[in-house]
Structure 1
Amino acid sequence: MSPQGLAALLCKEGDWHLAQEDLPIATAFYMAAFSCSGPMTVQKVKSLDKGLWEKVIATLETWCKGNSQIPKIQCNNLALVPLSVGIAAVFLSTLSPNNVVSSECVAVCSKALKGMTADKNLRDEEALGLLLERAAAYFFLGGRMQEMMQDLVQAFTETPVQAKKHFEKLFSSHDTERIEEQARTVLEVKFAAYREAVRARTELRGNDGTELLPPVIQTVQFLLQISPGSKRELSVRLADCQLLCGCIRNALDICDHLLAAEQKTYYNTLLVLRGFCSLHTHNHQQALEDFQKVVEHDSPHPNSCVKALCGRGLIRISGGSHYLTALDYITACQLKLEETIFTVKSYVPWNQRGLLVKVLQEEGQKMLQKKRDAPGVYQLASLLVELDASDEASRILCADALYQLGWVEEAHKLLLVALSKNPQRSPILARLALLQLKKGFLYDGNQLLKKVIKTGDASCLLPIMDIFKDEDRKLMQTHCHFRALTILTDKQEDADIKEAVAYLSFAIIASGGYAEDSLLVRARCYGHLGQKKTAIFDFNAILKQDPMNVQALSGRGFIYLALKRQKEAVQDFTSALKLEAEVVIPAILSLKHEAQGLITQWLLQHGRTVLTELVATKELSKEETFRDLLMIAGALIKICKDAQYHIFYIDVLIANGRYEEALIHLQEAFGHSLADEFANARLAVLQLKKRNMPVAAHSFSNLAEKDERELGFLLNFLDPKQQQHLSQVAAQEGNVLIKEYRYEKALGYYTLAILSSKDNPRYLRQRAVCLMHLKKYGRALKDMEKVIQKHGCNSLKTRVDDHCSKGHLLLSVSEEETAVKEYIEALQLEESMALCSIMKGPGREILAKTFHKIAQYYFEMHHYEEAWKITDYGLIVDKNSTELKKLKARLKREASGCSIH
């Protein structure tokens, strides 16, 4: 029977009892009819006579006040809804909307419940009944859905089994359907409130809104009690809410149970929920399997797919697959951006959200730098901005994506908003500057660049350049380079140069790291500012790309010159001169006199070192080396007219066998009357090539005493036969001069003989004698030491004489102890020859006194053996020496206990 039919039947029963003047029974039947069909019953009762209608109202008021009990009724064995005070109150308020008693009825229930709650008797049958009575009152009154649901949920939460029994007595199946519908409405409203709270979160790692979930869970649990037909659907909803509020174990149990069942509805949703449960418990393998199944499903549910992509992307971070993480989140955003935002804020664990955002920011930036998927990155950046509106990096990423999409104005607006929050942020200023230049607003762009310079963060351009288009980067590069040149043209103060350096740095970055013209100018600026190592870095950057860049080579050479790094400076200037001498020479000439002198001396030293090695090793066939030397020499005589540079140039020509050119240059540089010994010596070398030995010997002897090293270098130009012949001629001339007592002049010839003969002992002895006459005993001693070192195949007499000569020289410099040792060495070699040599000088008596003096010294020092030995050899020198005899006697007495024989 339909509700309307049942209501009509019950009204008919009520009419019959009313006719029998059984007013309580009649009113009860009318109230039962009202529970089935309110409008029909109200219409029926209102059609009664006024007197009867008032009696029905009065009866209902009596029941609502609790002054009498509602009678139980039966009708043809039909199952009727149990009548209650709540239904009576609703029926009364419907018949008489302004009736005070009906409204007081709900208040009475509430007061009774309050008292029971205070007595902690809420689980009692009476309390439960009152709670459900009030819920029924709210239900039948209408418009009190929230209060009704609150009472119902409370009742079912406290004692679900008993509450269900009472509920079934109070409400018909039709009422239950209406209550279920209303409960679902409340559920959606409450869950929507939770979603809104999540959406409104300002803190990325916050969990605001989770406090709204327990009422949602209780509503779901209530619906599970009254809607058994929707158990799977509501269980899925319950698992979702349990997961969201952090009850992971409960959610996982529900998911496992439902997935194990034969029914496969909500399969994707359950897999996603279980995946996040596993993720929370660090079971990444299980989580990944569940997420993967959802993503690979033939017809995945969109919301589930979004969540699965977010979950899988999160797991991929731990595996280092950051790019794939970004792709997952881009795909999720493209499916449903709002759902992706909600998923990250609610399903992703709070302590992993920060890492997720950083990974997505970095990967988005990389994708833009590689010009990949700008639309996808824009979606990703939009997600990041929603997750944390205060994160500047996300806003910048969004602006960069907009730029690559060609939405320049939108990018500009977004950057302006970011700038308003932080006016000094160089990454924002730099991007705005480039956009202004792109739009042709050069002044505005330059003002922004000036602000970037003031921040001191030129590196902020580095990540931008790979994002912006080539034509825009070129625009930035050109503008900054010419701006720097303008500054350097107008002003030269340190502050101006630093500003120019900043613009040049922008230009270099805009070029991709290599802009030769900007690097050159910046390197020179650094040099001017004293930042020499930084300048070298820039020059190196140029030379790495172009090793033959003359300006960079010479520029770096000047820096090395300032740093006094001779080897590096010479290497750079040599390389530069070889490439383009006409550019390098004026640059050197523009230096201050001291700097010019230093670099020319370094170049000369380098050239001389190389040439000396070539000549000494006779490697005169190295044409390339000679070309380099001629280049250096040619540059030096253009830079400075000093004789030493012309001499070097002539030496290179001679070494290279270009004698005629050498002679011509010699005459042009020094004239025909060569007063300069060094020039004269070169002429001598050239004359020797024409076999003019005496003249050459004369020139070389003049140089010999002035610079032996220079003479030795020149002699290497001669072949061995020429050197041997020259030594003989020089020695002969020296002998002639020494007989004429022209010792100074003879000395030069002897030196020439020694150098050209490679230290022949005979010539060393002759020079030692000459030096003795000149009283240059120290030099003479060095010559005799060289002679003695070469004793090998010399005759015995020669060796004896050499030791005696050295001893005589040592006496001349008052080194008496060493002199005595030399004479003893001679006496040990051959006594008679030694005595004969001693007779020639200094004489036996004088030498004996020296022996006595040294022996006496050893005696006083108690070195008796040395004293005895010297005394013995002294008596060989002069056997009549009284002092030596006395000393020997004393030695016998004093050292009688010692073995001195």
Structure 2
Amino acid sequence: MELDASDEISRLLSADALYQMGRIEDAHKTLLVALSKSPHTSPILARLALLQLRKGFFYDANLLIKKVIQIGDTSCLQLIMEIFREEDRKLLQTHCHSRAVTILKNKQGDTYTKEAIAYLSLAIIASGSQARESLLVRARCYGHLGQKKTAIYDFNTILRTDPTNVQALCGRAFMHLALNQQKEAMDNIVSALTLDVAGVVPEILSLKQEAQVFITQGLSSHCRAELNQLASDRSLPREESSKKLLAIGEALIKIDATNSAWHILLADVLILTGCYEKALEHLQEVLGPTPRSEPAQARLGFLQLKKRDTAAAIHNLQPLAGKDPKDLGFLLHLLDAKLRHSLSQAAAEEGNALEKDQCPEKALGYYTLAVLASNGNPKYLRLRASCLSHLQDFSRALRDLDKVIQKHTANDLQMQVEDFCSRGRLFLGLSDEASAVEEFIRAFQLSPSLALRSVSAQPGPKPLAQMFHLAGQHCLEEQRYEDSWKVVQYGLLLDENSSDLKKLRGRIKREVSWGCSIH
């Protein structure tokens, strides 16, 4: 300094040396001299602020810090933090954080938010980038200003050293949500909930209603998808997943306890984990004195089935069978083979009783339950197809018989013939006589005697022979000689004395050359 009185760097080095020797007053005087020569230099102002804080002069310190912020050059603080003692750095950190919180609490507007960010940045530098609370508040300020990616950077800084920080996980989730990165948002929310449900719920409730709805719906969908996966694949590990799903279910109810869907979802999680009594408590919240919720009734039916009360179970399960088979499928996946067999058998018996009493509308739900519980057993598909036929719903009945035919085996010839004849009768119900004839022919090709026995009552041999005649004529008009010949031959099995069929057979013989293979 004696060689060059204007050398600012030498004066700062001298002040720093005096500080480290404990000569605080001398360091302070040296910095005041330097300030008189360079009043707008951040390194001098920052050092003086630290010394003023050490001496307890908080007002003066804050004025100096404000000047540093106004100048906008905070890079000098990195070097200063290496020189000053930990307790003095802590003073600066605490002061700057408190000042930022005060600004945010008492003043509104982007200008004040940016001022708070500046104080928080100083606090973070003073801490060596370890000030989690300051990082958290600054990230939220960036989010408020629309700087979402910068906010995520601050949240990531916290989570690198503290992966279990629930507030940082929530904050990062909300930023991802604002960026329309839905998967990342859900992953963060679920991680936070697994750690601390009570801490996450207030964070979600602090959001706008639209965002709350989006998050709760997303959590519900995530939970339902994982529930279905765990139910359908029992080899998957359940302990960790169950903990996560329980956290989601509990959080949804804390967010909105009046939503019956959340109670049902949590009941499903409890059913999956075997906590049947707790599941029943949540179902009671939905059912009340006059049960109206079919999904809740179905869960009640599941619990009754577990207690071997099959009669009550099928009564509660069947309403859901025809309306939401996927939802019912979740419950059925949790049953063992023995319980599913007894359920499908009891449901079919109830359906048969209702059919006998000429109540096909009521019987349909029980047959559907039997079909779902048995994984599409052909026996129950046939019963449902018959019931649908009585209800004049021929198209759905045909779809059931399609599934039955796909499961045909070589050792059930009689049932195969009957299935094709049943399809023929259904096509007649749809006034599609051409398709009906095709189905009856398939039955005759398998066994003429069994086919004759099946059609003898309905539609009857002679009326059916007339349909064969018309079909044969149509084939001949289109010059499909082999098809026409086949139709006539099977038609004569139905009515060997039919003059119309005999005439048609003669006409075919005359119109085709004998080189054609029609026999």
- TM-score bracket relative to the smaller structure: 0.7 to 0.9
Q: Once the 2 structures are TM-superposed, how far is the Cα of residue 545 of structure 1 from its aligned partner?
A: 0.8
Match of 1:635 among 240, 251, 254: 251
Match of 2:388 among 771, 775, 794: 771
Q: What are the within-5 Å matches in structure 2 for residues 797-836 of structure 1?
A: 797-809=414-426, 822=439, 825-834=442-451
Distance 1:826 1:416 in 2: 111
Q: Once the 2 structures are TM-superposed, how far is the Cα of residue 502 of structure 1 from its aligned partner?
A: 3.4
Distance 1:485 1:767 in 2: 69
2:133 equivalent to 1:517: yes
Match of 1:872 among 466, 485, 496: 485
- On the 8 A contact 1:743/1:773 being kept in 2, the answer is yes
2:266 partner amino acid: Y
Distance 1:559 1:888 in 2: 79
Q: What are the within-5 Å matches in structure 2 for residues 743-762 of structure 1?
A: 743-762=360-379
Provide the residue aligned with 1:650 in structure 2: 267
1:669-708 deviation digits (Å, cap 9, x = unpaired):
4324423222222222222233221121111112211211
Match of 1:442 among 40, 43, 61: 61
Q: Once the 2 structures are TM-superposed, how far is the Cα of residue 520 of structure 1 from its aligned partner?
A: 0.7
2:323 equivalent to 1:703: no
Provide the residue aligned with 2:408 in structure 1: 791
1:523 partner amino acid: A
Q: Once the 2 structures are TM-superposed, how far is the Cα of residue 527 of structure 1 from its aligned partner?
A: 2.3
Provide the residue aligned with 1:843 in structure 2: 464
Q: Once the 2 structures are TM-superposed, how far is the Cα of residue 821 of structure 1 from its aligned partner?
A: 5.8
- On the 8 A contact 1:817/1:854 being kept in 2, the answer is no
Residues 431 and 677 from structure 1, CA distance in 2 versus in 1: closer, same or farther, beyond 3 angstroms? same
Match of 2:347 among 730, 734, 752: 730
Residues 545 and 848 from structure 1, CA distance in 2 versus in 1: closer, same or farther, beyond 3 angstroms? farther
Provide the residue aligned with 1:469 in structure 2: 84
Provide the residue aligned with 1:604 in structure 2: 220
Q: Once the 2 structures are TM-superposed, how far is the Cα of residue 721 of structure 1 from its aligned partner?
A: 1.5
2:351 partner amino acid: G
Structure scoring higher RCO (CA < 8 A, sep ≥ 6) equals: 2
2:505 equivalent to 1:892: no
Residues 639 and 823 from structure 1, CA distance in 2 versus in 1: closer, same or farther, beyond 3 angstroms? same
Which stretches in structure 2 are left out of the alignment for 5+ residues?
A: 19-26, 53-59, 493-499
Q: Once the 2 structures are TM-superposed, how far is the Cα of residue 555 of structure 1 from its aligned partner?
A: 2.3
**CA-atom RMSD, angstroms?**
4.0
Distance 2:391 2:110 in 1: 63
Distance 1:873 1:398 in 2: 114
Q: What are the within-5 Å matches in structure 2 for residues 414-453 of structure 1?
A: 429-440=41-52, 441-453=60-72
Residues 521 and 830 from structure 1, CA distance in 2 versus in 1: closer, same or farther, beyond 3 angstroms? same
1:587-634 deviation digits (Å, cap 9, x = unpaired):
323333333333223323333333333333446994554444333323
Match of 1:615 among 231, 239, 255: 231
Provide the residue aligned with 1:91 in structure 2: none
Provide the residue aligned with 2:329 in structure 1: 712
Bigger radius of gyration, 1 or 2? 1
Distance 1:548 1:448 in 2: 37
- On the 8 A contact 2:135/2:158 being kept in 1, the answer is yes
Q: TM-score, normalised by structure 1?
A: 0.48
1:450 partner amino acid: I
1:843-879 deviation digits (Å, cap 9, x = unpaired):
34335545655775xx4xxxx6xx3343233323435
Query: Which secondary structure state, in structure 1, belongs to the residue aligned with residue 316 of structure 2?
Result: helix
- On the 8 A contact 2:264/2:295 being kept in 1, the answer is yes
What is the percentage of aligned positions where both structures have the same residue?
Answer: 46
Distance 1:706 1:541 in 2: 49
Q: Once the 2 structures are TM-superposed, how far is the Cα of residue 808 of structure 1 from its aligned partner?
A: 4.9
Distance 1:890 1:530 in 2: 88
Residues 443 and 678 from structure 1, CA distance in 2 versus in 1: closer, same or farther, beyond 3 angstroms? closer
Residues 898 and 461 from structure 1, CA distance in 2 versus in 1: closer, same or farther, beyond 3 angstroms? farther
- On the 8 A contact 2:348/2:380 being kept in 1, the answer is yes
Residues 899 and 682 from structure 1, CA distance in 2 versus in 1: closer, same or farther, beyond 3 angstroms? closer
Provide the residue aligned with 1:580 in structure 2: 196
Q: What are the within-5 Å matches in structure 2 for residues 27-38 of structure 1?
A: none
Q: Once the 2 structures are TM-superposed, how far is the Cα of residue 754 of structure 1 from its aligned partner?
A: 0.9
Q: What are the within-5 Å matches in structure 2 for residues 529-544 of structure 1?
A: 529-544=145-160
Distance 2:204 2:273 in 1: 27
2:512 partner amino acid: K
Provide the residue aligned with 1:742 in structure 2: 359
Equivalent residue pairs, number: 489
- On the 8 A contact 1:820/1:851 being kept in 2, the answer is no
Residues 515 and 809 from structure 1, CA distance in 2 versus in 1: closer, same or farther, beyond 3 angstroms? farther
1:142-166 deviation digits (Å, cap 9, x = unpaired):
xxxxxxxxxxxxxxxxxxxxxxxxx
Residues 396 and 556 from structure 1, CA distance in 2 versus in 1: closer, same or farther, beyond 3 angstroms? farther
Residues 852 and 713 from structure 1, CA distance in 2 versus in 1: closer, same or farther, beyond 3 angstroms? farther
Provide the residue aligned with 2:55 in structure 1: none
1:552 partner amino acid: A
- On the 8 A contact 1:432/1:445 being kept in 2, the answer is no
1:313-354 deviation digits (Å, cap 9, x = unpaired):
xxxxxxxxxxxxxxxxxxxxxxxxxxxxxxxxxxxxxxxxxx
Which stretches in structure 1 are left out of the alignment for 5+ residues?
A: 1-377, 390-394, 424-428
1:646 partner amino acid: H
Q: TM-score, normalised by structure 2?
A: 0.79
Residues 537 and 871 from structure 1, CA distance in 2 versus in 1: closer, same or farther, beyond 3 angstroms? farther
Distance 1:415 1:777 in 2: 96
Q: 435-444 vs 763-772, which deviates more? A: 435-444
Distance 2:276 2:92 in 1: 60
